[in-house]
Amino acid sequence: MDTVIITGTSGFIGYSLAKHLLENNYRVIGIDKHDGKGVLEILQNERHLQLSRFENYLNFRRNLCESLSDLEDVFKEVKCVIHLAATAGVRESNYKPAKYIMNNIVAFSNVIEMAKNNNVRHFIFASSSSVYGDIIPSDSGFSENLKLGNVQSIYAMTKIQNELEASVYSLQSEMKISGLRFFSVYGPFGRPDMAPWLFVSSILQGLPVILYDKGLMRRDFTYIDDVVCSIQKIIEKERKSIYEIYNIGCSSPQSVLKLLKTIETSLGRKANINYKERICADVKVTFANMEKFCNEYENGVPIEFQSLENGIEKFCDWYRSFYEK
């Protein structure tokens, strides 16, 4: 039975990946400070409760910005560390930069250093599509070798810093390093600050839905199940190269207005829309080119990710059942 460390198991992607791996005969060691408030605390508690039901799950509550020296023995027993703990959200980051620098840069440094010092074979970390900045994608989307544009947020800046630091570590050790640029991940137990959650919640409560830039911004909405299956493939397949960056996205950008209309159809209710100007932290479009990932992990065969309609239907069903409970 393989053992992995996942940081951020109280968070959306970290929880979802941990649950998926536990269901597939992995032993998972979770590390998270678990400090949410309000609805986020409710979500974190439920995620922790579900993971704790697995015999092969062990949890440590730690602030990753502080020393991890007491966890050295834990790091020594694993082959792979998946660092997903971070403060997410582009808009808030421009108002609270210190919080993002601590949780996304200082914590990253502590975890990758611990992994290197304890001879971890593979270090996987979460980057973001936001690193592409303000560039406009070609018809085939953003490829990993593109020169990055002007970043729009402190959050994007922290993720670029993570990629730069990881590339330096790749020159100093034989540890394999994989950076994953996630594109607008959504699904059950998702983030309350993201559009799918905000739209569903507002419609069901009869509250106005805030739509920026008339809903014309396009996002590569990617369903969580496709994300965790992609990460598992990266965990399990050995490769020769030391450092690689991969896009993880649906490769089918949709407008935010299309997202809202899809949610209205799924819920059978219309939204009361409040239009607002686009915020400077928001990029106009994200669009993942998955050719590199498919060539290395799918024998060149394109992946068929979940359609927006199917994914939103599942998310809406989950949202209703979770809040009824």
SS (H, E, C) 141-205: EECCCCCCCCCCCHHHHHHHHHHHHHHHHHHHCCCEEEEEEECCEECCCCCCCCHHHHHHHHHHH
* Model pLDDT, residue 1: 74
Look at residue 317 and tell me if it is in a domain: no
Annotated catalytic residue, options 155, 186, 223, 319: 155
Q: What percent of the chain has pLDDT over 70?
A: 99
Distance between the two ends of the chain, CA-based, in angstroms?
A: 34
Look at residue 174 and tell me if it is in a domain: yes
Look at residue 12 and tell me if it is in a domain: yes
Look at residue 11 and tell me if it is in a domain: yes
Pick from 187, 189, 188, 185: nearest CA to 42? 189
Look at residue 257 and tell me if it is in a domain: no
pTM of the model: 0.95
Cα separation, 299 vs 134, in Å, equals 32
Helix (H) or strand (E) holding 127: strand 122-128
Look at residue 282 and tell me if it is in a domain: no
* Model pLDDT, residue 170: 95
* Model pLDDT, residue 44: 94
Question: Which structure tokens are listed for 247?
Answer: 């896009």
- 4 contacts 28 by C-beta, under 8 angstroms: yes
Look at residue 165 and tell me if it is in a domain: yes
Cα separation, 271 vs 182, in Å, equals 28
The Cα angle at residue 184 between residues 14 and 191, in degrees rounded to 5: 50
Radius of gyration of the chain (CA): 19
At 169, which CATH number? 3.40.50.720
Instruction: Report the pLDDT averaged over residues 293-302.
Output: 92
**By residue range, what is the domain housing residue 66?**
3-186+221-249+287-297
Q: How many domains does the chain have?
A: 1
Look at residue 35 and tell me if it is in a domain: yes
227-250 pLDDT per residue, tens: 999 999 999 998 889 999 999 999
Q: Does residue 57 carry a catalytic annotation?
A: no
71-96 pLDDT per residue, tens: 999 999 899 999 999 999 888 888 89
